Amino acid sequence: MRAYLTTLRRLHARDPPALFPGHGPRIDDPRGTCARLIAHRLRRERRVIAAVADGARDVDAVLAAAYDKDLDGVRDLARATVEAHVEKSARAGRLRWDRESGRVAPR
């Protein structure tokens, strides 16, 4: 997640006229798209940290608390995203995480 956010910030700063992603259509508003994606990831990160603060103690509990929509068909992707946010937040000292057990706790 750290690398993804760093890449988005760099693209935003470079302000290219267009982006040609490996999948999906050409992006004609790179700065706007990068800003939207950064804001979305930071909102999700706040929800992950709030879920832990509110008592979620493993990745699955954080997943259930951090998403307020039906995850049918994308649960594995959402879980991987939550795990990436948990790892990033743990490295930043914002929470504790034991990768082996999957347990999370507030810092």
**Backbone φ, ψ for residue 32 (5° rounding):** -65, -40
- Which residues span the domain enclosing 19? 2-106
pLDDT along the chain (107 residues), means of 10: 96 96 96 97 97 96 93 95 97 95 94
Domain count along the chain: 1
Q: What pLDDT score was predicted for residue 57?
A: 97
> Could you report how far apart the first and last alpha carbons of the chain are, in Å?
20
Looking up residue 21, the CATH number of its domain turns out to be 1.10.10
Q: Helix (H, G, I), strand (E, B), or coil: what is residue 27?
A: strand
Q: Helix (H, G, I), strand (E, B), or coil: what is residue 94?
A: coil
CA distance linking residue 82 with residue 21, whole number of Å: 23
Q: What pLDDT score was predicted for residue 27?
A: 97
Model pTM above 0.75: yes
